[in-house]
Structure 1
Amino acid sequence: MRAIIKWLLFISVMGGFTTSAYAEVYLTPWLNYTGGGELESNDESSYDIEPSASFTLSVETDFQTGRLGLVYSHQSTDVSEVQLKTSIQYLLFQSSIYYALPNEADAYLGIGIGGSYIDANWVDNSTGFAASIFGGFEYPLNQSISLTTQARWLGTVVDNDTAAACNLPSNSSSGCIVQFRTDWMNQFSLGIGVVMKF
């Protein structure tokens, strides 16, 4: 994960050198609702990672007709019915293109690549490659503050070779072992944020 972070920071810094000396910096805290991810038990039952609130911070700068930067996201949640907790984090290098709308707002579309870190007791290899596609709208409130909304797909490689014990509801008499259903996990997120321009 450290190597991924260093690589992303290097690209972000190098990208910054190619932008204008007067490029703006955009800092955006986000509140999101994120869902997706599925586990499978030893009896082939499926359990979903519960949708929950997630928090994101993005730092971007102007680049041609869009923006370039880093985004970090964190989600803490549970797995339905089996009393297991998990934490999912993403760090992505992203690029987006902006399109002006008639009402002074902007629409944007972008992609991101980077890494994920999953903290869960059914995972041995916690880090994996991650990718993202996102789009949304940005509405200026004044010269330095904008309101933004976004829909985002997140996908990541996960460890589905490791399993862990879980707790089934009290009316079940059988044991339970769970692991990720596949080696790729998809998540979807809807968010609202405040863009601060410096």
Structure 2
Amino acid sequence: MKRYSLLLLCMTTSSSYAELIITPMIGYTLGGSVEDDSGNTYDMEGRSSFALAIEVPVEKGRVGLFYSRQSAQLEGLNINSSIQYLHFQSSLDMPISENFIGYIGVGLGGSYVDADWVDNNIGFSATGFAGLEYRFTSNLALNAQIRWLGTSVDNNNSALCYSDQGNSKCLIHFESDWVNQFQSNVGMTFRF
């Protein structure tokens, strides 16, 4: 019984000093394109997006998880899609003044593309980002960032196949093995 009490005390003591950083953000995501069998390229329309970072501080930065979701439509085709990213990320804080902090970071993870024109919905993805944080108090800050998001896709996959006067055609396939998107976000950072 003493062992379990000691373990519980250690867990409680260490967790009381832990800090959790939660940053919900809204933003705008643009970029990404697909190509049809005739070589015509269709860009993904820029749209608003939602993102959430849950992190913990480490030495001169922080580590944690980043989630983002964007709904989009292919320009000129009226075809909807949704891309979700989940990354493990790490960033380095660079103090500018007492209340301003700049940061840069990278992340790795996966993406889920929910679209009719994709066969393999899950792919490897990566991110690179930079931002500024203005601290109002030790527990509340305004956060702004720009972020590159890239995801691997299989360019051998085709979808939206149809039959036109007896000829079978596939309307869409990915232009390359890598789709790049760019995102700008603004949010509030809460420290607990």
Normalised by the length of structure 2, the TM-score is 0.85
Structure 1 gaps, min length 5 = 1-16, 167-174
Over aligned residues, Cα RMSD in angstroms?
A: 1.9
Q: How far off its partner does 1:51 sit?
A: 0.7
Distance 1:145 1:103 in 2: 14
Give the CA deviation at 1:162: 2.0
Q: Would the aligned equivalents of 1:123 and 1:160 in 2 still touch at CA under 8 Å?
A: no
Larger radius of gyration: 2
Pair 1:150-2:126 in alignment = no
Q: Determine whether 1:83 maps to 2:78.
A: yes
Partner residue, 1:137: 132
Equivalent residues of 1:126, 1:159 under 8 A apart = no
Which one of 50, 58, 64 corresponds to residue 53 of structure 2? 58
Higher strand share: 2
Identity between Structure 1 and Structure 2 (%): 44
* TM-score of the two chains, using structure 1 as the length reference: 0.83
Displacement of 1:144 in angstroms is 1.1
Matches within 5 A, 1:88-99: 88-99=83-94
Question: Once the 2 structures are TM-superposed, how far is the Cα of residue 103 of structure 1 from its aligned partner?
Answer: 5.0
Q: Is the 8 A contact 2:119 2:159 kept in 1?
A: no
Report the AA paired with residue 144 of structure 1: N
Identify the match of residue 41 of structure 2 among 43, 46, 55: 46
Q: Secondary structure at the match of 1:122?
A: coil
Q: Which residue of 2 aligns with 1:180?
A: 174
The size of the alignment, in residue pairs, is: 173
CA contact (8 A) 2:158 2:170 kept: no
**Over 4 Å off, 4+ runs:** none
* Counterpart-to-counterpart distance in 2, 1:68 and 1:34: 23
Amino acid at match of 2:64: G
Q: Is the 8 A contact 2:141 2:189 kept in 1?
A: yes
5+ residue gaps in structure 2?
A: 1-10, 162-168
Task: Verify the 8 A CA contact 1:94 1:110 in the aligned structure 2.
Answer: yes
